Amino acid sequence: MMKKTLAILLSMCMSAALLCGCGDKVQEPAASNGEEAGADQETPAEPEAGENEAEPEATSKGDGETYNFTFVSPLVSHEYWIAVENGIQSGADEQGVNVNVLGDTKVDVDVMVKYIDTAIAAQADGIVTMALSPAAIGPAIDRATAAGIPVVLVDTDAPDSTRAAYVGTSNYDAGFEAGTAMIEATGGNAKIGIIRGTVGQETDNDRIKGFEDAIANEAGMEILTVEACNSDMLTGTQKAQDMLKAYPEMNAIFGSEGTGAVAAGKVLEEQGLSGTITVIGFDDTAECLDYIRSGVVWGTIVQKPDFMGRKAIELLTRINNGEEIEETVIDSGVTLVTKDNVETYKEDAK
Amino acid sequence: MKKKLNVNSLIKVGPLALLCIVTGIINPVFFSSSNLIDLARSISFLLIVSVGITYVLLGASLDMSIGSVMGLGGAICGLCLVNDWPVWLSVIMGLLAAAVVGIVNAVLIVNCQIPALIATLGTMYVARGIVNVLTKGEPYYPLPDGFKAIGQGTLFSIPYSVFIALIIVMIGHFVIKKTPYGRSLMAVGGNREASRVSGINVKKILFSSHVLVSLLAGFVGIIMAARLSSAQPNAGEGWEMTAVAAVIIGGTSMYGGYGSVIGTILGCALMETISNAMVLLHVSVYWQKITIGIIMVAAVGMDTFRLKKIAAR
């Protein structure tokens, strides 16, 4: 018995170790985009480690030295977060700072907390991350602030924490935009099925809440069901198929993250139902844009990941330079992409 | 003897049949041909890889890397396709990549004696890592029509994947029941040392079962990419748990030596039918996991109870 318990414990430790190894490995190709990032990204805080220890508010340095920031990504292999990362890298190039990227290939709040603690231990000059779950990430942010490391949140805020600033659109507002778009697209008459990511993810909760509030005053708008696809495309198509069967009266689908609308689009196209059901989704993956061009998906809500990343780095640099940030909540806004602006919205956003 | 076996397998169908009947009464759409076809397609994906898992479990080993191997097979195939390689060659490349992981698994487990759980957890991360490095998180898209036909084409309005799964199941069943290889696999799973002493090439048997499961997983990954018209970087994530659960629900022992491919069909059918029924029965998404868990335990419980009763006689 004892032996078995030991074996299980050991295997857990080993898998945890593997997990770290994996995360570190994945970030390499992405991080090496930045030209000067390569040299000392492995030991981000080494050059000024001593100074940091002596004086927690390490804002005074900067003569000739470059700042080392850490970006803790919730999901390194996702198009959206890669766009944020690219924004961060171009921000780093603009500001002349180094950014080290940490993150895992699946969404796990514990892993994010661990990486934030890693960044604190490495005495980074600043941390960019997102509050996947404000309750869980908040204390880690507070630890960073206590260690004199400013934290700028992108995409998802943790307003009760001691974060220095937040750049993004609240998911509630983005969901509200999607709801408004749905009213516009269906003329105020829709029986809606929602495909969300995972059950219990706050990003999804807030978007759906915003969506619900947007349509609340429309008598003709009704939500029939909410299903979860776990952000897996195959599961998404299966859920979409099942929903079409279970709710024959359904005439609209809202995907509250990147997978739902594309999955629904595949099923509708396959069953020859394109155009009969109004699909509105989130994020501008290549597939989603193609479905918008072909009329299978009516529209998608796009946040501005590139802007978020660049702004976050700019803010961290300014904080490190000793500047006061007067506006700590910066609304990056969303874009509704439909057939009308699918070719031009990227230019318009800049 | 033969008759008794049939009665036994009939009882095993019990939970699944019950679920189908209840769902069908509450929502007759369940038995509509289009729903059954959708369901058959979902089952076929899970079934193909679960046949491989059945082999691995029969040999008293384990493979946690199949989900990642699915992703890898699809991604390598997709990578070749977007570089305008011919479809047949791309498929072979996808299968080769999967086979390589299988061989690594087999070498680690059989030759290096690393516990299967740890070895395949390692390759699970490495394989997924390779997918992420290759795709940088973006799906390979668009894929050519000739390739998409593998996953989207139909014969008598039934998807190809269903026929492919049937063929694999028949071969899988035949090999276990009728060939020396199958008997050796059962023996190795039942008692490795005794099998070795009695002259079975244990290493060869285990090695081949690990390569087989990876090949099948890679194959499903490829069909999945064809079905979705894109090779998704997170394809197959979490499938190792679903497949192992389906195989165990199907009556294959986690400790090896006992089980069948037919049971695996039932396990896969039950898993996918539950998920289909949840939506058709309008079960709230918040309650679905609880319901799935209860049905799973109940299905296995019924079987265990029945076996105990037989043993007590």
- Domain A24-169+305-332: CATH superfamily is Response regulator (3.40.50.2300)
Q: Which residue has the higher pLDDT, B10 or A212?
A: A212
Residue of A8, A233, A283 to mutate when probing chain B, most B C-beta within 10 A: A233
Nearest to A266 among B38, B228, B288 (CB): B228
Contact state of B227 with A237 under an 8 Å Cβ cutoff: yes
Q: Which two tokens stand for residue B96?
A: 């080769």
**Per-residue pLDDT for chain A (350 aa), expressed as one digit of tens each?**
455 555 555 555 555 544 444 444 334 333 334 333 333 344 444 444 444 443 333 344 445 578 889 999 888 877 778 888 989 999 999 888 989 888 887 778 888 889 999 889 988 899 999 888 888 888 888 989 998 899 999 988 888 888 888 988 888 888 999 999 999 999 888 999 999 988 878 888 899 999 999 999 888 899 999 999 888 899 999 999 999 999 999 999 999 988 899 999 999 998 888 889 999 999 888 889 999 999 999 999 988 888 889 989 998 898 888 888 888 888 888 889 998 888 888 776 65
Per domain, the residue ranges of chain A are 24-169+305-332, 171-302
Closest approach of A151 to chain B, Cα-based (Å):
25
Identity of the residue in B117, B233, B238 whose CB atom sits nearest the CB atom of A77: B233
Taking an 8 Å cut-off on Cβ atoms, the answer to whether A234 and B142 are in contact is: no
Q: Determine the topology of domain B32-305 in CATH.
A: ABC transporter involved in vitamin B12 uptake, BtuC (1.10.3470)
- Which residues in B lie closer than 8 A to residue A265 (C-beta atoms)? none
Helices A233-246 and B33-58: angle between axes, nearest 10 degrees? 140
Contact B38 A233 (CB under 8 A): no
Where are the strands (E) in A155-293, listed by range? 165-168, 190-196, 221-228, 252-255, 278-282
CA distance linking residue B101 with residue B87, whole number of Å: 22
Residues A256, A259, A262, A265: is their CA dihedral positive or negative?
negative
Confidence of residue B50 (pLDDT cuts 50, 70, 90): very high
Instruction: Evaluate if pTM is beyond 0.90.
Output: no
> Looking at the predicted structure, is the pLDDT value of residue B311 above 80?
no
E-strand stretches of chain A = 68-73, 98-103, 126-129, 151-154, 165-168, 190-196, 221-228, 252-255, 278-282, 299-303, 329-331, 334-338
CB spacing of B125 vs A77 below 8 angstroms: no
What is the interface pTM, i.e. ipTM, of the complex?
A: 0.81
What is residue A334's predicted lDDT score, i.e. its pLDDT? 87
**Fold match between domain A24-169+305-332 and domain A171-302:** yes
Which listed CATH number (3.40.50.150, 3.40.50.2300, 3.30.70.580, 3.40.50.1980) goes with A171-302?
3.40.50.2300
**Average pLDDT for B254-273:** 87
Residue A40: what pLDDT? 39
